[in-house]
Amino acid sequence: MINLKTNDYKVYNTEYKELVHVERALEGIFYVPGKTTTEMTELYLEDEYAKENEIVGIKIVVEDEKISVAYQESPKDLCQFQNPTSSPLVPIVCLPNELVINVYTDIESDQFIPDSILE
């Protein structure tokens, strides 16, 4: 879980815990495992840190209190092209990599103003 305002994070004790890289959290950069993201050639060309540490996975970026997928590999790369989100109504879904990024809020329901209307 990542706080979009402070980049504070919590890595849960799951079978993937050791595959989550949070060393660049202060920069808003996180790496998480993905099922189809195993070819890292393109990421290594633009991300020296990932290359030096031989990181294999999805690069997630938090910027301007929004979260997005900066790098991943999948058949059509659709999750990488989804817009950054800070809305609980707009998750980022990357089915080939078995990744869903949900945004949670601690706002009380009477204070909540929807930022999207679903029809």
pLDDT string in tens for the chain (119-residue length) = 888 889 888 899 999 899 999 999 999 999 999 888 788 889 999 999 999 999 999 999 999 999 999 999 888 778 888 999 988 888 899 888 888 888 887 766 666 566 555 55
The predicted pLDDT at position 111 comes to 61
**Encoded tokens for 45:** 């060309």
Q: Can you point out the beta strands (E) in 33-107?
A: 58-63, 66-71, 92-94, 99-101
Name the nearest CA neighbour of 21 among 10, 31, 33, 29: 31
Cα distance between residue 22 and residue 96, in whole Å: 23
CATH architecture of 17-101: Sandwich (2.60)
The predicted pLDDT at position 115 comes to 58
Rg, the chain, Cα only: 15
Identify the helix (H) or strand (E) that includes residue 29: strand 29-32
